[in-house]
Structure 1
Amino acid sequence: MGMTYWLNVRDGDMIESEENDLSATCKLTDALDKMCLEIGLLAVSEFVDSTEMSMEYDDEFDLPDDEDEFYDEGKRPYPLDEMRWCEANSGLDTFQALQARLSNAPDSFELEPDEIDMLAAELDEIIELLQAAAGQGHTFHLELLG
């Protein structure tokens, strides 16, 4: 499996993780970022948190043997404040604009039809989650996983 994102919403000291792979969004981040710059919105990469990835490749972190217990309770073996958290509303602005561009001008994405379908489905999912998060005043990020 290549790299992917999971969308995590933060509610106080808990993380609600949608463990659905957003691999098309991940794979196409550079192209999406370029489009965000053209539209004048925050880039997709601005919402990405790679704490988990850095931990996997960094021996300084002393992980407990049973790290599953953290995931079960929505907790992580490191402080949540060390992660990058973004306003759900700014994410909504970016992803809704990308969704509109994708449905109005799919050719501008220079993607294969199946990539467009996957991206469209992922954008729908991201927007739905962000609308809920924004309504509750929660923050979010796209967690980079590999």
Structure 2
Amino acid sequence: MYRFIAAALLSIAFAAGAIAADAKPHRIAIQVDQNDPQVMNLALNNATNVIEYYRAKNEDVDIDIVTYGPGLHMLRSDTSPVQDRIKRLKDMVFPGKIQFSACNNTKQGMEKAEGHEIPIVPDATIVPSGVVHLMELQEQGWSYVRP
């Protein structure tokens, strides 16, 4: 009798593990390409809502907020209207679960136009091209949102 119960429990555990292994990861790329505080805040609201939704379900989610063109101002430490929110959001999630990607093509163009180095917030990662980064994330199965 005990062997039967143990075998049944073991089968349930393996089935639960198989279901968890089959679950697709939750990954979302959010594009910001406008120098508009409303768009930046909407992107941060989207990220916060996604994090809270999956946290309530006890599931992980990876988020990458990708900025390029005028949207790079979101990650410029000298012009960002949302720096404090970026820091709070970064602190809210486990390391590596949210990334803020700054387009290097845009950064270099701004540096040339403005004649000085463009400072990027410390919580950002510089990627060679924001558009290519978004494309590659989508090719890897990431969901895409443009607020």
Larger Rg: 2
Structure with greater contact order relative to length (CA < 8 Å, sep ≥ 6) = 1
